[in-house]
Structure 1
């Protein structure tokens, strides 16, 4: 494979000197050997083409995924597990480490262990993975730790955008002309758009909390009864919390990443992929009740998803490579018009119990964005509990304010749940 990064991957690559990494951590009770972990990672690496590739730039500085038989095995760093908070400390360290070794693959593992419990952390650059990728990789690792004889079926990489979409989308001259036109518009936009703001200079941080199983079940039941999605209800809560803490500085908007696998059949649920189309959502200023607002958010999201022509979006994005450095600079220096990027991974398809160990908890992925506005909240559900991670940078959003927002989220959820169960 020698493939130029597609536009979504290219933005998340940033450049050769800037790390943009995601971390996915699980806590396991039980024992497994280093030999079994190496075997699991070897088989996972052999299945996924992107784990047998590195990123190399050509003479013009354009990055490519390049397959190599000389890459090392996925490296494992072993450390002592002292407390339940260690994974957060290690996550922040891993955000800032580049994947730039000449023979290093685009993944690594940190194994924190004591006599009975381990934290297993998988780290990948964001340009090769999304939330679904992490769930697939971790599921495979855990299954192989428990059953080393299990075999995985590899798949072929795609070598171009046309190769990815060949079975489900045909590129017409009209579509190509439309894409060319918008690429010119983008160049003009970024030509006159100021990117003189400063890059984030503070420290990235991570907040983490859970909604226990009882409250998670209550929220899910209330959403079902009201005819709204949990995501829509949480969007309303988050935006109300930002408004409460930030006041007039709040934008009242949330960015929603959408799983591209809903639209492109060629990208299977267990394939590595990084691009996610987005929808921007807001909450009405009208004095409606909480559930009326949530219904409106749900309707808006469904309308925007239904209108997404992801095949055409993927095609058109390939005409924007000439503007990619300006786009990245724009993200690094402007605050944007949204409060937070919010991703709901839903119930994780990872088993709780294995023959030789149990998964005690799974933490929602974390990411250290180098953007001026890095506010990111991810929620996932495992063993009936919602797990939240909130990542940002203290030069953009002071950690104290983020803690206030977190506490306000929990307060608002408590108010809504207690109001309906009083």
Structure 2
């Protein structure tokens, strides 16, 4: 059985890799069996991507076993090379849309979980990682579910505003038809940075957020807003896009343990006046967030319906659109910056025979340019992964953003250090 990719699925062309450093033993036989169990549960892992004359299709229940590669890494140099190889590799047409590599080291190893963004967002891969690791040492049931596509969430034809949406879609389709296709491949000069703050600073910042009655996400957004302005000046983006998880009871069609490529997002304007100090800004953002998320959830069916009125641009036209963005926008990403928050990374059961020593992630895009910051907490420490391309921000600009962002984190946490937790020594790694 075949299903044609929706417009939005065709536009999401890239891979996501999660890197889990494990301390302890991991049986290859158990890992292979766990992969098979996880694949039987999730229909997206049993699909193959096929290119037909009229576009891209998913061949349902057509994939073979999820590839599992094992390598022994005798040095940090060998390990880094294996990681780079795995993160850079595209998926072959006859491969499932997930692959796993176990890179053995002296104390344990690094587990790489790579999937295409078309089937998984960041929260989906956390679900995969939890299920996969748990299945290596326990027989927890993994219940299969029916395939789901954006069309299952899209609004029905003829809803409110249908005529207006069709008119807008016709205009967009007409404009895209005028864009010449480019044969010249795009350059994707990736920039990847990881920033850390220590457990002491993280604890004080959490306490400060409670005292100011804001969420950590709102506080980090306010700090990022100010840091982008200070570090980039006139080159700062005009808005920050905030993806959020549409599961957790928000969209009825998506259960908590399902794989899906994304949920919704809300935006804040960079540099908009919100009050006298950063924490007033954070409180304003916090007050706005729930309303914006609720509005986005109401709008998602209509947005998915609208996307299906658009004709997906060819690869050549998409290359031209990206180059147009390079020329016309301040950052090669149409003046937008993304901020995602994965929250605490908790992947292992208490009885797991291994320990999660480290965690990080990377994104490789084959089409549109990624530009953003991903936050998460591991072992009580806030960590941030910057992902972008030199076509969006220079190395010097990324370094400046790191200095200002980490400096603001430290400054805001230490303003009330003596009131909050005077014994904690604050430092940024």
What TM-score does the superposition give when structure 1 sets the normalisation length?
Answer: 0.86
Kindly indicate whether residue 207 of structure 2 is the aligned counterpart of residue 221 of structure 1. yes
Assess if the C-alpha contact under 8 Å between 2:48 and 2:58 holds in 1: yes
Shift of 1:367: 0.7
Change (3 A) 1:199 1:225: farther
- Segments of 5+ residues of structure 1 without an aligned counterpart are 14-19
Kindly indicate whether residue 266 of structure 2 is the aligned counterpart of residue 279 of structure 1. yes
Assess if the C-alpha contact under 8 Å between 1:47 and 1:153 holds in 2: yes
CA separation in 2, counterparts of 1:328 and 1:277?
25
Query: What root-mean-square deviation, in Å, do the aligned CA atoms of Structure 1 and Structure 2 show?
Result: 2.9
Partner of 1:17: none
Shift of 1:64: 1.2
| Aligned pairs (5 A) from 1:18-417 | 20-60=14-54, 62-69=55-62, 71-80=64-73, 82-83=75-76, 90-102=82-94, 104-147=95-138, 149-158=139-148, 161-162=150-151, 164-165=152-153, 170-172=156-158, 174=160, 176-191=162-177, 201-261=187-247, 263-286=250-273, 288-308=276-296, 309-322=299-312, 329-331=320-322, 333-334=324-325, 335-351=332-348, 353-363=350-360, 365-370=361-366, 373-417=369-413
Assess if the C-alpha contact under 8 Å between 2:191 and 2:389 holds in 1: yes
Question: Per-residue CA shift, 1:4-62, capped at 9, x if unaligned?
Answer: 2233322113xxxxxx11011111111021111111111111111111111112212x1
Aligned residue pair count: 407
Shift of 1:283: 4.0
Change (3 A) 1:86 1:171: farther
Change (3 A) 1:322 1:73: closer
CA separation in 1, counterparts of 2:169 and 2:203?
47
CA separation in 2, counterparts of 1:375 and 1:87?
26
Of 395-404 and 232-241, deviating more is: 395-404
Structure 1 segments (4+ residues) deviating >4 Å: 85-92, 173-176, 191-196, 322-329, 370-373
Shift of 1:140: 0.6
- Segments of 5+ residues of structure 2 without an aligned counterpart are 326-331, 419-429
CA separation in 2, counterparts of 1:413 and 1:70?
46
Partner of 1:2: 2
Shift of 1:416: 0.7
